[in-house]
Chains A and B, each alone.
Chain A
Amino acid sequence: MPIKRGVSLYSFQNETFQGKMTLEDCIRTCAEMGANGIEVIGEQSFWGWPEQEVDPAEIENWHHLIAKYECVPVSHDFMLDYKRYKGREMPFEEQVASVRKDIDFGARLGVKYLRALVSIAPEVLVAAAPYALEKGLKILIEVHAPLHFDHPWIIRHAEAFEKSGSDALGFLPDMGMFLHAFPPIWKEKFLRLGVPQNIADYVVKAYEDRVLSEYVILNVQQMGGVGPAIAMAETLRHNAAFEPKRMLDYMPRIHNIHGKFYEITADASGTYAEPSIPYDEIISVLKQGGYDGYICSEYEGNRWIEDAMEPDSVEQVRRQQVMLATLLGEPAPQMRAAA
Chain B
Amino acid sequence: MMDNKMIVEGSLESTDKGFAFYGRLPYYRGLGLSMIEDIQITVDGELIPRADVRFHVRGKTYTLDEMETVYDDRWNFGEKAKIIAMKPGGLPAGEHKVEFAVRMRVSYLPFVPTTKDTKVLALAA
Instruction: List residues of chain A with CB within 8 A of the CB of B28.
Output: 10, 13, 17, 41, 44
In the bound assembly, the distance between CA atoms of A17 and B72 in angstroms comes to: 22
Q: Mark B59-96, 1 if CB is under 8 A from A, else 0.
A: 00000000010011110111100000000000000000
B10 within 8 A of A: no
Q: Would B72 and A52 count as touching, CB distance under 8 A?
A: yes
Closest to B79 in A: A47
A118 within 8 A of B: yes
| B1-44 interface (Cβ within 8 A of A) | 1-5, 24, 28-32, 34-35, 37
Q: Is the interface of A mostly helix, strand, loop or mixed?
A: loop
Q: Would A17 and B5 count as touching, CB distance under 8 A?
A: yes
Please judge, given known A-B contacts A18-B5, A41-B29, A302-B1, whether A48 and B76 are in contact too, CB under 8 Å: yes
Q: Would A306 and B72 count as touching, CB distance under 8 A?
A: no
Q: Report the count of interface residues on B (CB-CB < 8 A).
A: 27
In the bound assembly, the distance between CA atoms of A47 and B105 in angstroms comes to: 19
Chain B residues near A (Cβ < 8 Å): 1-5, 24, 28-32, 34-35, 37, 68, 71-74, 76-79, 105-108
In the bound assembly, the distance between CA atoms of A13 and B25 in angstroms comes to: 13
Q: Is the interface of B mostly helix, strand, loop or mixed?
A: loop
A79 within 8 A of B: yes
Chain B binder among A80-88, A103-111, A189-197, A215-223: A80-88
A51 within 8 A of B: yes
Q: Would A19 and B30 count as touching, CB distance under 8 A?
A: no
A24 within 8 A of B: no
Q: Would B105 and A86 count as touching, CB distance under 8 A?
A: yes
Q: Mark A55-71, 1 if CB is under 8 A from B, else 0.
A: 00000000000000000
A117 within 8 A of B: yes
Q: Would B2 and A306 count as touching, CB distance under 8 A?
A: yes
A132 to chain B, nearest CB (A): 20
